[in-house]
Structure 1
């Protein structure tokens, strides 16, 4: 790796809009190439981080963002009800997934909830790698009624076919 292009994981986290731990997880999973420096320090290429930040969402991630956009509309209309349900889901899921990677993402959702509705809305809608990963471990189960969820998924499928047809 070109040492002029190397940055520490903390700087990479700032560029990606995520936690330093998420960058470490990306390195450990092989999704972000890294080199080790003195001790346990990891360095990544700035160009790799910027490329990751520009990477479009996958179909699954974009579909999840559409569902969470519908949830966001529920959140702004009925914040107390939605947040109470999400906190109950978080408590239940956290007990089931204690000690797993899912627990990490659920912890980030808890942090967002503790920070307030604006932070939750950001996580629901953002295209950052961290927000996309958070939505894959969402505590928002049951917020949308089945018919509304189905309508969002049908709309997304039409959108995907129209915009991503080969």
Structure 2
């Protein structure tokens, strides 16, 4: 996860599709949506130099408030970028990326947009699901952006099969 990009966001009801797409394009750490940053590396977003952190969450969700608090960074009015590498021993077809977040988020798989969650929402697991996707054999890159104004910020993301069951036959790493 990248340290939070500080944003002047007074209300979460501004998170329309257009607002999110425009903000994520403007406050992006890299135009390469398959880039995998290294733990401890820095990135410039606007006039902010931010550090990447490897995080292994044992919970089903990641609490961005706790993450930013631990770093002594802003906890409200933030945009957080996320990157995860998934290694699949075989191709897995007809999966859906399922995500939940407080406020807005956008998710990409292997450089292609997979899911946009707009509006001011509560974090509920599987609050939104993508169209059918294919996890290719080998390395797959998930990239996410979560944005929030006032209030708590957290997210969860996973892949589910055609029956809605979690996809488990892959491994996850941060580099």
- TM-score, structure 2 as length reference: 0.24
Higher relative contact order (CA 8 A, sep 6+): 2
Comparing both structures, which one devotes a greater share of its residues to helix?
1
Comparing both structures, which one devotes a greater share of its residues to strand?
2
Larger radius of gyration: 1
